Structure 1
Amino acid sequence: MGNNAKIGGGGFHHLALRAYDFEATVRFYTEGLGFKEANSWGEGDKRIVLLDTGDGNYLEVFAGGTEEQPPAGAFFHVAFRSDDVDAAVAAAVAAGAEVTIEPKDTVLGKFPPTPVRIAFVKGLNGEILEFFQSTGEHKL
């Protein structure tokens, strides 16, 4: 874990990409670039896969994108590791961020099920930041 006291550990966790061709995108990153599937969940246009880029940082691929390039591009949030999501959100809000999703506990995937605590804020330029905390035995 990192050493950023403001957000509780810190460091890059993942970048999220919305793919209009989910299977081709996953093949590109796994077969083409050597990323490894760490976990996946959801069905249809709600499928998500978390790909390890090779150093414990991840690319999160979401299904359900469109061929039309969105105004902000295909990447739609960046996630930072934290060992205290609530404190990270409080620090972000104190610095001027706006909470878009309050801190919450959830379980990602099934193989293995991975409990996490997450929250989202909007930064000063409209960028979406996620604070991500692995809370169970299987760490992401």
Structure 2
Amino acid sequence: MNNITGFHHFAIKAQDFERTVQFYKTLNFEEVHDWSLPEFNLEKCVMLKNKAFDSYIEICDNNADFPTQGRKRKQGDPYVENSLLHICFTVIDAQKAYDEAIKNGAKPLSAKETLELKNKRKSVTVSNSLVYSPNGEVIEFLEAVVF
């Protein structure tokens, strides 16, 4: 498939729209567009862009009637397992990113750790941390690494 030219965005359905948008703004995303689509029961949706790495996150309100992975998260569920495992951002310092995310409303999952990813040909050492966003998606903060 030679037609693909790059990655554009992740889309998430927000349990608490305003809180979720605000959280991603603390990760240096800024709103570049908003819209509604009444035919999909979508009252509000925004596209947020991080100019540092030219990528987007689309955040839609919880009532939107869009196809999704897995089942709708029920109130009180710590998370719902489905095809999207996590969103990963590269960072300079995984512990600092973790601490800042917690300060801005994320829930702890795994503070900075260093892991060795080995196979028969090669070993790659990674340092990362993970949080649950206020909306529940898993966010990985990964220090620069070459695979």
Question: Which bin holds the TM-score, normalised by the shorter protein?
Answer: 0.3 to 0.5
Which has more radius of gyration?
2
TM-score normalised according to structure 1 size: 0.46
Say which structure, 1 or 2, has more relative contact order (CA 8 Å, 6+ apart): 1
